[in-house]
A = this chain, B = another copy of it.
Amino acid sequence: MKIGKQTYKINSKPCIFATSSIVGPKEMQGPLANYFELHINDVFFDEKTFEKAESKMLESCIRNLLVKTGTNEQDIDVIFSGDLLNQCISSGFAIRSFDTPFLGLYGACSTFVEGLVLSSMLIESGMFKQVIASASSHFCSAERQFRLPLEHGNQKSTTAQSTATASGAALVTNRSLSDNGIHITHVTPGKIIDLGVTDISNMGAAMAPAAFNTIAQHLTDTGRDINYYDAIITGDLGTHGSDMLAELFKKEGIDITQKHKDCGVLIYDENTQDVNCGGSGCGCIASVFSGYFFNELKAKNLNKILLVATGALMSPLSSSQGESIPSIAHAVAIENEV
């Protein structure tokens, strides 16, 4: 049911029944290491290229989700996935190994939540019973595609973020099939916001206005204030973008700092790990939600969260043609039924 301008209440409250996460060695040196289910010790993951390694991570992540829930891949109605690589090859090659229909998404780093938005709305339709939403990224494949080959050893801008080597996947189910009390209750698909930022080393600044727009619209549509939620979780604004988001809310008279968490800030230790403004990449929010926050929901340390993924919809080519960075943010409200 549509409420307000841009938000949908999901009456059937689909369940996020289980999640799976896999990360690389650098993420295992970060503060959330204990929460990730799988990890690789080498960024090549026994493959010859970074791209094949990324694809294998995503495949392993989804396979793990199926195995641990005892779910047959043929019983999954559809797998949603996307990634940052040109033509989303990480997803295409990972998912060809499953005997499951596939719907490919491109939302840059907003992909995982875009998948949750579609999964919950399609389960609400009654047609889908269980769906997987997933996404991945890999530091090394992203660096050489978007920036410069690692071998160059270039210095990073202080506002830059570091693409996480990570995949995450969530099994979303109709509650008649399986239910653990963790439900998607509302979704707010975002609009593209572009305030003219052109610095591709400052994605946080480009994406913060999109996050603000979607969160503010969600709160207006639902009639909630930020205190309704135990946490408002973005992925990934980094430290600089998070400051900008706080500033935007401050102008509206709202202090979001006590509620706001950013997956890009959480995944690394900014004091000991060389990541400038924090993590980014489709796999960052996918793995941090699937690893850390899902665990916090299960443990009832958090009971009501708004999960907001932000994506920067540029390419190296659009930037070289002088274009700014169009950004988007999609939100899902996830609540423990007490």
Q: Is the CB of A106 within 8 A of B88?
A: yes
* Contact A189:B78 (CB < 8 A) given known A104-B114, A105-B105, A121-B122: yes
B102 touches A191 (CB 8 A): yes
Could you say which residues of chain B place their CB within 8 Å of the CB of A321? 48-49, 51-52
Are the CB atoms of B104 and A8 closer together than 8 Å? no
Max count, chain B CB within 10 A of own CB: residue among A74, A118, A313: A313
The answer to whether residues A101 and B189 also contact, given A96-B194, A125-B124 and a CB cut-off of 8 A, is yes
Indicate whether A326 sits within 8 Å of B92 (C-beta atoms), given known contacts A78-B189, A87-B86, A106-B106. Answer: yes
Cβ-defined contact, A6 with B318, below 8 A = no
With beta carbons under 8 angstroms apart, the residue of B49, B86, B317 that contacts A315 is B86
Taken together as a complex, chains A and B put the C-alpha atoms of A49 and B86 apart, in Å, by 19
Please, what's the 1-or-0 string for A303-321, where 1 marks a CB less than 8 Å from any CB in chain B?
A: 0000000000111111001
Report the separation of the CA atoms of residues A89 and B103 in the bound assembly, to the nearest whole angstrom.
19
Q: Is A235 positioned at the interface, with any CB of B under 8 Å from its CB?
A: no
B93 near A326: Cβ-Cβ < 8 Å? yes
Known: A52-B321, A92-B192, A99-B191. A314 touches B107 (CB 8 A): no
Cβ–Cβ contact B87 & A192, under 8 A: no
Q: How many residues of A contact B (CB 8 A)?
A: 63
Q: Is B106's CB under 8 angstroms from A104's CB?
A: yes
Q: Is A323 an interface residue (CB 8 A)?
A: yes
CB-contacts of A33-86 with B (<8 A): 48-49, 51-52, 74, 77-78, 82, 84-86
Chain B residues lying within 8 Å of A114, measured Cβ to Cβ, are 103-104
Min distance, Cβ A327 to any Cβ of chain B, angstroms: 9
Tell me if A147 is interfacial: C-beta within 8 Å of chain B.
Answer: no
Is A177 interfacial (CB 8 A cutoff)?
A: no
Interface residues in chain A, defined as those with a beta carbon under 8 Å from any beta carbon in chain B: 1-2, 5-6, 8, 48-49, 51-52, 74, 77-78, 82, 84-89, 91-93, 95-96, 98-108, 114, 117-118, 121-122, 124-129, 189-194, 313-318, 321, 323, 326, 328, 330
8 cross-chain pairs, A with B, having the tightest CB-CB distances, nearest first: A92-B313, A125-B125, A87-B315, A96-B192, A106-B106, A101-B189, A86-B86, A96-B326
Q: Knowing that A89-B317, A122-B122 are A-B contacts, what are 4 other residue pairs whose CB atoms are under 8 Å apart, sorted by A's residue number?
A: A91-B106, A103-B105, A103-B114, A124-B126
